C-alpha cells in the first residue's frame, strides 16, 4: 500500500518551500513575461482532490472499514492494485488504485501534498500537461510496484504526486540558469532528504511501497524533461509528449508481462481465479506450478492449503500451513486455518495448541476462539468450549459458523431452547462434512 504519511509531510514541506521561494522565478513561456497563471476553482488540481474525496466517501458507504485500517481483501474488492489481477484482465486497477486510499489519514496527507504541489505544476505546464504528468507517473508507479512484487496490494495517489514533484525538479534542472545556486542546492537537499526518509521508513514499516514511490518520481522526472521546452504551444508539446509517454508505458508493461511469465505469476493468477470459482482441483494444480518456481512465498502456500482443505486433503493442507508459518511465523490466520484442518483430522489437542498460540499473538481474533471452542467441544471440555464461543461472539456477533458450532454443542447437551436461539443466527452457514 503505497503512500506513507512521512513522505507526504516532506513532500508538503518541499512544495510549500517551492511556492514560497520560486514564485518569481517560474517561466510559463520562455518568450513571454514572468507571470503566475491564476487558477480557477475548477482547476485540474481541485478536480483531482474532489475525485479522491468522492471515491473515499463512496468506499466508506460500501464498507465503513475503509475510513480506518481496511483489510487486504477489502482493498482488492474496492479496486486496489493487485498484480495477479491487474495483469489478468483487470488493467483498470492501475487507474482505480490511484484514487483509493488506505484510510482517511492517508487520504488527507496525500491531498494536502497535492494541494501544495498541484497548482504550481499546473500553472507551469498547463492543466492538460499537468494531468498527463499526474496519470503517467501514477500508472508507472503502479506498474513498478507490480514488477517488484506482483502479490503486493497497493493504493494511493503518492506515486502520481511524487511524479508531479519530480517534474518540477526536472524543470528546474533544465532551466537551472534561471535559479540561484543556493536555491538549486536547497531543493536537491530536499529531494535527498525525502528519499532517505522513504527508504528508512519503508525498511521498518510494513505496507510502505517504496517501489511505487520511486517509479512515480522517476516517471515524473522524465515527463518534466520531455515537457521542459515551454517556448512552443501546449498543443505542440502534447503532440510529441503523448506518443513518447505511451511508448514508455507499453514498453514497461511489456517488461513486467515478461517478468510475470518467467516467474509463473500467470499460474498464480489462474489459481486465484479458480479458487474464487470453487474450482479447487484446478487451483491446486495452478498454485503447485507457481510454487515450483517460487517456494518462498507464504501466500501461495496459504492459497494452495485452502484449496486442499476444500478437497478434503487435510494432511496436505496442514503441511502447507506449516510451511506458511515457517515463512511467516506471526501469521495468526495460518495458525487458525491449520488448527481447523487439524480438527478435521481429529487432532484436537494439536488444534487447541495452535489456537492458544495464535490468541497470544492476537487476543481479539474471533475465529480463533471459535476454532478452539470447537476443539474443546469435541474433547468433552464443555465449559471451556462455551467460554470460547462466547468470546468469539463478543468480538464477532454475526459469526454464523460460531453460532452453528455452539448450536450443535447445545443440541448434544439436550439444551434445545439455547440451541434454538443459535439456529436462526447460524442460517446460511455451510459446514464441512466432518463438522456435521
Cell (9 digits) for 15: 512544495
Please answer whether residues 166 and 154 qualify as being in contact, where contact means their C-beta atoms are separated by less than 8 angstroms.
Answer: no
**Interatomic CA distance for residues 431 and 146, integer angstroms:** 37
**Interatomic CA distance for residues 312 and 309, integer angstroms:** 5
Cβ-count burial of 380 within 10 angstroms (0-12 exposed, 13-18 middle, 19+ buried)? exposed
Please answer whether residues 198 and 158 qualify as being in contact, where contact means their C-beta atoms are separated by less than 8 angstroms.
Answer: no
Cell (9 digits) for 207: 505496507
**Interatomic CA distance for residues 274 and 257, integer angstroms:** 21
DSSP state of 24: T
Look at residues 224, 212, 240, 118 and name the one whose alpha carbon lies nearest to residue 156. Answer: 212
Look at residues 390, 343, 336 and name the one whose alpha carbon lies nearest to residue 361. Answer: 336
**Interatomic CA distance for residues 399 and 392, integer angstroms:** 8
Q: How far is CA 158 from CA 64, 164, 211, 241, 252, in A?
A: 23, 10, 11, 23, 19
Cell (9 digits) for 334: 495460518
Q: Give 425's Cβ-side CA count (13 Å radius).
A: 19
**Mind telling me the catalytic residues?**
158, 213
Q: What are phi and psi of 382, to 5 degrees?
A: -60, -50
Amino acid at each position: 500500500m503505497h503512500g506513507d504519511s512521512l513522505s507526504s509531510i516532506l513532500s508538503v514541506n518541499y512544495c510549500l518551500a517551492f511556492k514560497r521561494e520560486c514564485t518569481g522565478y517560474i517561466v510559463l513561456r520562455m518568450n513571454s513575461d514572468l507571470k503566475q497563471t491564476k487558477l480557477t476553482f475548477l482547476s485540474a488540481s481541485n478536480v483531482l482532490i474532489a475525485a479522491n474525496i468522492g471515491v473515499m466517501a463512496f468506499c466508506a458507504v460500501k464498507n465503513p472499514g475503509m475510513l480506518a485500517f481496511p483489510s487486504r481483501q477489502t482493498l482488492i474488492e474496492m479496486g486496489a492494485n493487485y498484480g495477479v489481477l491487474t495483469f489478468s484482465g483487470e488493467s483498470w486497477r492501475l487507474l482505480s488504485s490511484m484514487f483509493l486510499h488506505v484510510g482517511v489519514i492517508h487520504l488527507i496527507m496525500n491531498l494536502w501534498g497535492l494541494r501544495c504541489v498541484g497548482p504550481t505544476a499546473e500553472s507551469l505546464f498547463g492543466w492538460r500537461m499537468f494531468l498527463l504528468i499526474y496519470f503517467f507517473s501514477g500508472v508507472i508507479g503502479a506498474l513498478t510496484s507490480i514488477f517488484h512484487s506482483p502479490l503486493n496490494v497497493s493504493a494511493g495517489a503518492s506515486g502520481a504526486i511524487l511524479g508531479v514533484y519530480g517534474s518540477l525538479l526536472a524543470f528546474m534542472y533544465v532551466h537551472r540558469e534561471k535559479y540561484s545556486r543556493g536555491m538549486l542546492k536547497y531543493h536537491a537537499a530536499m529531494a535527498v532528504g525525502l528519499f532517505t526518509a522513504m527508504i528508512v521508513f519503508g525498511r521498518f514499516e510494513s505496507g510502505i511501497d517504496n517501489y511505487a514511490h520511486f517509479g512515480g518520481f522517476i516517471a515524473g522526472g522524465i515527463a518534466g524533461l520531455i515537457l521542459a521546452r515551454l517556448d512552443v504551444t501546449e498543443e505542440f508539446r502534447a503532440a510529441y509528449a503523448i506518443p513518447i509517454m505511451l511508448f514508455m508505458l507499453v514498453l514497461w508493461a511489456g517488461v513486467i508481462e515478461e517478468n510475470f511469465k518467467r516467474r509463473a505469476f500467470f499460474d498464480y493468477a489462474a489459481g486465484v481465479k479458480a479458487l474464487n470459482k470453487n474450482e479447487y482441483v484446478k487451483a491446486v494444480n495452478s498454485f503447485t506450478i507457481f510454487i515450483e518456481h517460487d517456494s518462498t512465498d507464504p501466500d501461495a502456500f496459504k492459497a494452495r492449503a485452502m484449496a486442499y482443505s476444500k478437497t478434503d486433503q487435510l494432511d496436505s493442507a496442514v503441511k502447507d500451513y506449516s510451511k506458511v508459518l515457517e515463512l511467516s511465523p506471526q501469521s495468526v490466520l495460518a495458525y487458525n486455518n491449520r488448527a481447523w484442518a487439524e480438527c478435521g483430522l481429529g487432532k484436537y489437542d494439536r488444534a487447541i495448541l495452535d489456537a492458544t498460540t495464535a490468541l497470544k499473538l492476537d487476543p481479539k481474533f474471533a475465529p480463533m476462539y471459535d476454532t478452539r471452542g470447537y476443539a474443546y467441544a469435541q474433547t468433552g471440555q464443555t465449559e471451556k468450549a462455551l467460554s470460547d464461543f462466547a468470546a468469539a461472539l463478543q468480538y464477532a456477533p454475526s459469526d454464523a459458523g460460531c453460532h452453528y458450532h455452539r448450536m450443535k454443542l447445545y443440541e448434544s447437551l439436550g439444551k434445545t431452547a439455547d440451541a434454538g436461539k443459535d439456529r436462526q443466527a447460524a442460517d446460511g452457514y455451510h459446514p464441512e462434512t466432518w463438522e456435521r
